[in-house]
Amino acid sequence: MSNKNNKNTVDLSLRQFIKDLGCVTGGAALLGTMPWLQSFTPAAAEEIKKEKARVALIGTGSRGLYHIHNLFLIPHAEIVALCDDYAPNLKAAAELVPKARTYTDYRKLLEAKDIDGVIISSPLNWHAPMVLDSLAAGKHVFCEKAMADSFQACKDIYDAYQETDKVLYFCMQRMFDEKYIKGMQMIHSGLIGEVVGCRMHWFRNHNWRRPVPSPELERKINWRLYWESSQGLMTELASHQLEVCNWATGLNPQSVMGMGDIVYWKDGREVYDSVSLVYRYSNHVKITYESLISNKFNGMEDEILGKEGTMHLASGVYYMEDEKIGKSGIEQLLNQIGNKVFTAIPAAGPSWRPETRKEYQAHNILKGKFDVNDGFSMIGVDNDGSDAILDAFCQACITGEKGKDIVEEAYSATTQCLLGNQAMAERREIFFPEEYKIPYMKF
């Protein structure tokens, strides 16, 4: 649920939330652990309120249209150009933004002098060439996750970013989600004690296919299903969740092992529809990660386990270990017998909890109402941080201020996803390669 009426109020609310966070005791140190938030304040919005970031979209499929709707509600953004090599997608976007110029070749778009920044929502295999070409053309760049489809492509982007004065953002939206920001504050302040484990899962019941009007368009439209254009569940879903684990622990996993299979959707796809992995940090803390797209019962959760409590970041709640609510199963049973509810002791019953099950009191991470994403949408949902990180990018197109650590976080998460795919393909434990470690990463 949400108490926010539109995305303009979401923007202002998050900016004020970040400002307030910086004012609490230890706020400066806290924002030092989330430096990408430091310039996203009401004061910064006030400074640029009379200016516009002139942006172009490269890729106008479902996610591109999602960004267009968010851009309409960002007061300092103006859409000036659209690009797609699939005519139906470009037509749908042009109907939404009739004043924008249209292109079918992104390289031609990059020649335009009136474009400050580009927003890339293309298949994964196009991320690296489009990002690199856009930076070389002198544009600020916002790209969908994941960073790229190979270790070397990620490193090429990272190296290019070190040499440019242009802004580069990747859509790691949890970094701009209030639940995650506040939850991380609690984790880093010691509320749940030492982090001893991370459990991440993302379940859907959907074949991941899109309708294809003609057979020759199969790989173009259903690019997520083929290794040549996709890295499957890991880069599409796990990239967000592995970033959260690194954020919570302050480390990058040293190694991973796992299994990936096509369990149900045996329809000619190549990428796994089921993955199960275990990542290991140097302090022996582990991430267990599971994703399945033929059962949605468990939905999505980002769970950080501490010695003193557990943080459910996707749900926006936490639980403390020392809070036992109500009486134990045996206590309940004895009380019911004493009050003659039962004439005989039952072997089991739904009216009391077994002794081995402990109840926990859920505490909200945020005060008041807040939004929860069930993880079922393939496109995006309101108020999950996507609008805010796009807003921050548009602000940066005007100010030229880089989003500190955003590229590094995207690099770390993406390479861990690629490492997981390698481990599943080779069916063995894989260690992170030395040649692709960057100074930001701590192992």
Same-domain pairing of 255 and 131? no
325 Cβ contact partners less than 8 Å away, ≥ 6 residues apart: 359, 360, 361
- The β-bridge partners of 56 are 81, 118
Q: For the chain, give the longest Cα–Cα distance.
A: 85
pLDDT of residue 339: 46
Is 206 within the bounds of a domain? Answer: yes
Same-domain pairing of 370 and 394? no
Is 183 within the bounds of a domain? Answer: no
Tokens of 109: 């778009």
Is 442 within the bounds of a domain? Answer: no
pLDDT, averaged per 10 consecutive residues of the chain (443 residues), comes to 42 76 66 86 91 98 96 96 98 98 98 98 98 98 98 98 98 95 94 98 96 96 98 97 97 98 98 98 98 96 98 96 64 49 42 51 88 73 87 97 97 98 98 98 97
Same-domain pairing of 166 and 48? yes
Same-domain pairing of 285 and 402? no
The domain of 14 spans 7-175+382-407
Is 2 within the bounds of a domain? Answer: no
Same-domain pairing of 360 and 386? no
pLDDT of residue 352: 41
Q: For residue 77, give the nearest of 43, 110, 49 by alpha carbon.
A: 49
pLDDT of residue 100: 98
Q: Which residues of 400-419 are buried (b: 16+ CB within 10 A; e: fewer)?
A: eebbebbbbbbbbbbbbbbb
Same-domain pairing of 360 and 395? no
Q: Are 411 and 154 in contact (CB under 8 A)?
A: yes
Same-domain pairing of 312 and 209? yes
Same-domain pairing of 395 and 373? no
Tell how far CA 190 is from the center of its chain. Answer: 24
pLDDT of residue 383: 76
Is 190 within the bounds of a domain? Answer: no
Same-domain pairing of 21 and 169? yes
User: Domain tally for the chain?
Assistant: 2
Q: Any idea what the CATH number is for the domain that residue 427 is in? A: 3.30.360.10
Q: Are 111 and 88 in contact (CB under 8 A)?
A: no
- The β-bridge partners of 294 are 205
Is 427 within the bounds of a domain? Answer: yes
Is 387 within the bounds of a domain? Answer: yes
Is 402 within the bounds of a domain? Answer: yes
Same-domain pairing of 26 and 148? yes
Same-domain pairing of 429 and 389? no
Q: Any idea what the CATH number is for the domain that residue 91 is in? A: 3.40.50.720
Same-domain pairing of 28 and 166? yes
